[in-house]
Chain A
Amino acid sequence: MHELAITEQIAEIAIRHGEKNHAQKVTDLYLVIGELSTVIDDSVRFYWDLITDQTICKGAKLHFNRVPAIFLCLDCEKEYRLSEGDLTPCPHCGSTRMEVRQGKEFYLESINIT
């Protein structure tokens, strides 16, 4: 059910920007989604057609650009990636103190309109 609310928000933004630019149709949406965002592409696609049926977004294609998660170790100050989706200590020094540098993004970057 999470994805339903999210898909409605995506449609709302795309329609608003489409109308502002006098679009007849929105044909493509380019979304940026961090690895740590809990969003399932297939579920969004599933709801997309239902939600946009009567709108200028009908039939628009969804493009998902997945951004990998990158952490910064607060002790040795080196960056590291998430290994296989698991929460792991810093591979350089073993510290568990870290902050998320990248991977929580979730935004609509651009749309194509006609």
Chain B
Amino acid sequence: MSRKVSVVEKIHSVNDQLAAENQGRLLEAGIFSINLMASPGAGKTSLIEKTLAGLDPAFSVAAIDGDVATSIDADRASEAGATAVQINTGGQCHIDASMLRSALDTLDLPNFNLLLVENVGNLICPASFKLGTDKNVLIASIPEGDDKPYKYPAMYQDVDALIINKIDLLPYIDFDMDYFNKGVEMLNPGLTTFPISCKTGEGLDSWITWLTEQIQAGKSS
């Protein structure tokens, strides 16, 4: 005899539950955390390096780097002064909440002020897997083209801040900033945006100021 059973459960519910647990742990430890997402080569690791160089050295920073293979990114973050943990996802195209949980287990969380999670380079999958970090930040870069908000709407919709990297290349590339911004505005009205160049350092001050405010707001609450 066949019978119907009502389920009504979100497919991501297991991941969402683990993300909520991660969030609780990070909150309790008083550490401000960011999930940094972007396509491969947009400048996630470069941004981490520049951020570590620009932040008040009194802040203690941990970096968790997700990659399909190698520890190149964690090595760079470590070189730049962070306590770095590498997650190799074994072919998976994103970090999920359980991977982040395992990585958090290896860190003495209350010792840190800031956690930067560098997701796997990908503009599709990371948007669906919450991690439990305070903020989701997306890095777009000029060479990727001005149509990315239109092609990857889910990614632009759910982020709390957007960094536009490699603006030093604007004179050389056909990138219509108005068209790009229009797409962003439709998907995520009023989104906090930082046009920067990790190469020249332009715009990094505003990003560092914002980040510092976020870290301090977390400490005082």
- Using A5-B92, A13-B11, A114-B1 as known contacts, say yes or no to A109 and B124 having CB atoms under 8 A apart: no
- Using A2-B94, A111-B4 as known contacts, say yes or no to A106 and B10 having CB atoms under 8 A apart: yes
Instruction: Determine whether B161 belongs to the interface, using a CB cutoff of 8 Å to chain A.
Output: no
> B5 to A113, Cβ gap below 8 A?
yes
Q: CA of A36 to CA of B125 in the docked complex: distance in angstroms?
A: 13
Instruction: Determine whether B9 belongs to the interface, using a CB cutoff of 8 Å to chain A.
Output: yes
Residue in contact with B96 in the complex, picked from A5, A10, A97, A98, CB distance below 8 Å: A5
Chain A: interface residue count, which band?
A: 35 or more
| Residues B9-35 near A (CB distance < 8 A) | 9-15
Instruction: Determine whether A50 belongs to the interface, using a CB cutoff of 8 Å to chain B.
Output: no
Instruction: Determine whether B53 belongs to the interface, using a CB cutoff of 8 Å to chain A.
Output: no
Residue in contact with B7 in the complex, picked from A9, A13, A37, A87, CB distance below 8 Å: A13
Binds A, one of B41-49, B109-117, B181-189: B181-189
Show 11 A/B contacts (Cβ-Cβ < 8 Å), sorted by A: A2-B128, A6-B128, A9-B12, A13-B13, A17-B9, A106-B10, A108-B8, A108-B9, A110-B4, A110-B7, A112-B3
Given contacts A9-B11, A10-B11, A38-B128, 10 further A-B contacts (CB under 8 A): A13-B13, A36-B154, A87-B149, A87-B150, A100-B157, A106-B10, A108-B7, A111-B4, A111-B7, A113-B2
